[in-house]
Amino acid sequence: MERTSTDILIAGGGVAGLTAAAAFGTAGFRVVIVDPTPPITTDDAAGSDLRTTAFLQPAQQFLEAAGLWQSLWRRGYAHHRHYRPSAPLDR
């Protein structure tokens, strides 16, 4: 087993853990995430519950700084094409 040096260890690969990892990684920290279960990466995988997550407006700036907002918005929009924002989300 190879040893890995890291600045930050995050326990949990859920929404909060992954968001924290992205934010710290974008800030230049070496990050390792540990989770007891393998990630679910497809809608039809066992254990996929297809829940949605709503972010409050102040979270947008944080997610933009972490490099996540555009990807999250595109993925959400692709799944909910009937939604038409009244104003552009890009600033």
Q: pTM (2 decimals)?
A: 0.65
Rounded distance between C-alpha atoms, residue 52 and residue 76, angstroms: 9
Q: Tokens for 10?
A: 């995050």
Whether residue 33 is found in the same domain as residue 2: yes
Q: Is residue 24 part of a domain?
A: yes
> What is the domain extent for residue 63?
54-84
* 32 beta partners: 9
| Mean pLDDT in order along the chain per 10 residues (91 residues) | 91 89 93 89 77 79 86 67 52 46
Our count of domains for the chain comes to 2
